[in-house]
Every structure is written in C-alpha cells, then in structure tokens.
Amino acid sequence: MTATRLAERLAQLLPVLFGVSLIVFLMITLTPGDPVEIMLADQRATDEQAAALRRDLGLDRPLVERFLVFLGNAVRGDFGISFFHRRPVWDVIAERLPATIELTLVALIVAILVAIPLGVMAAVKRDSWIDRALSAASLFGVSLPGFWFGILLILLFAVEFRLLPVGGRIGFAHEVPRETGFLLIDTLLAGDLSAFGNAIAHLVLPAITLGLPTAALLARVVRSAMAEVLASDYVLFAEAKGLTRRRVLLRHALKNALIPAVTVTAIETGSLLGGNMIVETVFGWPGLGRLVVESIFARNYPLVQAAVLLYAVTYVLLNFIADLLYTALNPKVRL
C-alpha cells in the first residue's frame, strides 16, 4: 500500500471519529431531563449544591465550548470523575478492561478454531451434510438471542451436569496477585496452575456464548471464499502438477481464501464488543460491559459516556484495520 493511499484512508477516518465523538457528546447533552437533577435524584441536595455540580460538570457553558472541552479531555483520556466510585472514570474503566479484552480474545480464538475447519470442509464437500449443517447453523447463529444462548449453556453445563462454573472469573478460593489484570497471565506469573485451570473453566461458557455466533458467520465467509478459490485456474494447475490434495488445499487454496476471513474477523471483533455487555451480564463477568450496565442503573453518566465513546472508537479503528488488512493482503486491490 502506498503512503498516499494510507493518508487517504486516514483522512476518511478522522471525520468519522469526530462525528462519533459528537454523537456521544450529544447523547448526554440533548436528551430530555437535567443530568444534574437525575444524578442528585436520590440525595437531598440544596439548590446551591446542584448549581455547584452543574458548574463542575461545565453545564453552564455554551454547547460548542462544552463539546470542545469534552473533545480535548477525551483525547487526553480525561473523562471526569465517576461519582459512584469517587475516582477518575478512566481509572475505573482501565481496571475492568483486561477482563473484557481477555474474554473477547478467547471468544475470538474459539470462533476462529471452529470456523476455519468447518468452512474449509463445507467448501471441499459442497452440498454434503456438513455443508448443509453449516448453513443451518449459521441461520441459527444469527437468530439466537445471545443472552438466551448463554442461559441455556449455564442450564446444561453448570446446573445439570455441574461441569463448569455458573459465572464469575475465578473461584473464591483462589487468590491471584494482580499484575496485568489478565487472569490467564497473572495466574501463570504466580505459578498457580490450579488457579489457571480454574480461570479457564470460568472462561469456557462465556467465550462459547460470545464466540459461536461469530463462528457461524465466519465459517460462511471461509466457505464461500474457499469455494471460489477451489474453482480457480491456479488450483486446477496445482492439482494438474500432481500435488497432493492436502498440499493444494492448505498451501495454495487456504492462503488466499483466508483474506476475506481476516477482514471479517477484524470487523466482527468490533461487534463482539456490543455482545460483551450481554454476555458479561449473563455470566456475572466483571468486565467493562457489566460495568456499563451497572453504571446505567446507578445513573453514572460520565462513565457510560466514556465507555460508549471507547467502544465506538475501538469499533471504528477495528474497521479501519480491517480495511487496511484487506488492501495489504489482497494483491488484486492494490492500486
């Protein structure tokens, strides 16, 4: 990819990031109801206290100025104070972030491990039972409400068979010193293998709940890309050369078929962020998604605003990366 092309893409990215920030700002500003009144609803506050809070929040300034201040602060990671926690919003978010990233990454690994072999098999054996099962499964994948799927898994594997824990990140018996916040890493750093195993056991159901619907989608992408590649001349040529079927599939076909899969994976990672709120609520997973849901009910608006902005910016950036990857990997798009 040329530098000008990259610059061009970046130039497209900036207005979107600006627009996203504007919408997040307007969400809290333009919605009916006085945030100060709502925040103080449960407390007996005097008019002076309300006015002071309004001043602290900058609510007495003109709209444009408030937006610029919001934007400037956001760039520096300053989202104000979480009233509920009495700490800076960003600190609270940063503390919960590793749990969410860990879950998302493991879900992604689940999705990839399930999707690629299934997609390849379905493409190689077109119209076989596996191909039909895959299209049925992907239809289910998009029709299944995530929260309900999670509950079914809990009913089956935690309540009925008692194989896996119902929720949480790790059993109470394990005490792991916090180093990175990623439990899979922290348990290993502490050399505590039983805690590591326990953390994995806690990850299985939430990761499947989050990852399987993505797997269904991804498998379809791999299948159609693989089917297209298998019908191409160079695969025919490779087979004519007398290469083994296995070598043709893995070395020649799969490499190219994975290009769209990489793009879709990057985009889907963004969608997993939304799914996180649901899955974390179902499994009592102490990550960002659950924090946001809790904050909504605690009327902790600065935190909700910061989290929504963080989700959106991550999503936009992931789409941007997907776009770059697609261009970088695919020689046909290179202009």
Handedness of CA 250, 253, 257, 258 (dihedral sign): positive
Nearer to other proteins, 23 or 193 (CB): 23
State the minimum distance, in angstroms, from the CB of residue 303 to other proteins. 10
Angle in degrees, CA 256, 262, 268, rounded to 5 = 150
Which residues lie near other proteins (CB under 8 A)?
15-17, 19-20, 22-24, 27-28, 31-33, 139-140, 142-148, 151-152, 154-155, 159, 166, 224, 270-271, 273-275, 277-278, 281-282, 292-293, 295-297, 301, 304-305, 308, 311-312, 315-316, 319
Query: Is the Cβ–Cβ distance between 195 and 187 less than 8 Å?
Result: yes
Nearer to other proteins, 215 or 278 (CB): 278
DSSP secondary structure letters along 113-171? HHHHHHHHHHHHTTTSHHHHHHHHHHHHHHHS-HHHHHHHHIIIIIIIS--S-SSSSS-
Report the alpha-carbon distance of residue 207 to residue 279 in Å, rounded: 9
Nearer to other proteins, 22 or 236 (CB): 22
Nearer to other proteins, 195 or 309 (CB): 309
State the minimum distance, in angstroms, from the CB of residue 278 to other proteins. 6
Nearer to other proteins, 131 or 186 (CB): 131
State the minimum distance, in angstroms, from the CB of residue 167 to other proteins. 10
State the minimum distance, in angstroms, from the CB of residue 239 to other proteins. 24
State the minimum distance, in angstroms, from the CB of residue 251 to other proteins. 27
